[in-house]
Amino acid sequence: MESVKTILVTGGAGFIGSAVVRHLIQQTDCIVVNLDKLTYAGNTESLVEVADHDNYHFERVDICDAFAVDRVLSQYQPDAIMHLAAESHVDRSIDGSAEFIQTNIVGTHVLLEAARTYWKELDAHKQAHFRFHHVSTDEVYGDLDFGDALFTEQTAYEPSSPYSASKASSDHLVRAWHRTYGFPVVISNCSNNYGPYQFPEKLIPLMILNILQGKALPVYGKGDQVRDWLYVDDHARALVKVMLQGKLGETYNIGGHNEMTNLEVIETICDIMDELKPDLPAGNNSRELITHITDRPGHDLRYAIDASKIKNDLSWVPSETFSSGIRKTIHWYLDNPTWWQRVQDGSYQGQRLGLGV
């Protein structure tokens, strides 16, 4: 898909979306239109590196607003859409599912219909090269027992939480639009991401910041849940590969080849923090902050992705091991206190009033 010039990225102020935007602006000559509603998880301060670039444009738009989406498509005439806008926190979905249904299902439907109408009106050349890349999660597959085979692109869907059920629904919508209307789509499902600019409610940044502040490190149950960890910049590279080179109608699983229990992840963070910051509140033994709490409802035991298809078909493999990626991540949080402090005290939300980037 060499003709791609303008990419519309939904959710481009979020954790993964901002990594994709930064990659596109810094590593390609594409024009990038970032469409984001700026919910609590959207942070334009994650885009300061590219905000002044001539090829970067920001539109504060809700994907559920069909009129606004139509306007953006008409104004910028994108050659591809990368759809990352989503509510994505499992605990929040358990406490209140309505936002997840609205954004992840209804919003995806609105976007699909707007994009399909736009696509049908393109000239033959642009229509032939247009594509819609839907970015999803491995959580749609449910979970695995220890010893089970890895998730593949053929694994049946069995979501466990309101979040994963809403993402599974959006995946089905995208596939249906491809089969029913011939709409040109590709889908990717990724494992757990981590890295710079991740919202502090997520496991890894939460642990790093709690250690810095001498707070308890909450661990659900025994902490024996297994996840495959993918460094966010590796994921961004993979997503651009899928968008540019993926075969229409196909799904690509993106994994980090780093299966670890939650407790192992937390203990690793503790040990690196003790090494890098010997003056921490817990002294030189941050593991003492680990506190086991009641497990959450329906907590999936194990996620593990077989990423051989994207390796074989698109020549993508992750660059970071968990050992290298977690060190980069910890260093970033230690070196960028202003970013996470503004998230923690809420001042980053001044962007909603036009005070941010």
Show which residues are catalytic. 138-139, 163
Task: Give the separation between CA 92 and CA 69, rounded to whole angstroms.
Answer: 26
SS3 56: strand
Burial class from Cβ neighbours inside 10 Å (0-12, 13-18, 19+) for residue 14 reads: buried
| Beta strand segments in the chain, E | 6-10, 31-36, 56-60, 80-83, 131-137, 185-190, 192-194, 217-220, 226-231, 251-254, 259-261, 290-293
> Which pair of structure tokens corresponds to residue 92?
């929040």
> Tokens for 349?
């939300």
As beta bridge partners, residue 231 has 194
- Name the residue with tokens 């996840």: 227
- Give the angle 106-173-251 at the CA atoms, nearest 5°: 130
For residues 253 and 121, what is the distance between their CA atoms, to the nearest angstrom? 31
Q: Which helix (H) or strand (E) holds 236?
A: helix 232-245
Integer Cα distance of 339 and 130 in angstroms: 36
Nearest to 21, CA basis, from 49, 1, 60, 41: 49
Inter-residue contact 16 to 83 (CB < 8 Å): no
Distance CA 196, CA 157 (A): 30
Measured CA to CA, the distance from residue 216 to residue 193 in angstroms comes to 23
Q: How far apart are CA 350 and CA 348, in angstroms?
A: 5
Q: Which helix (H) or strand (E) holds 244?
A: helix 232-245
188 DSSP β-pair partners: 135, 252
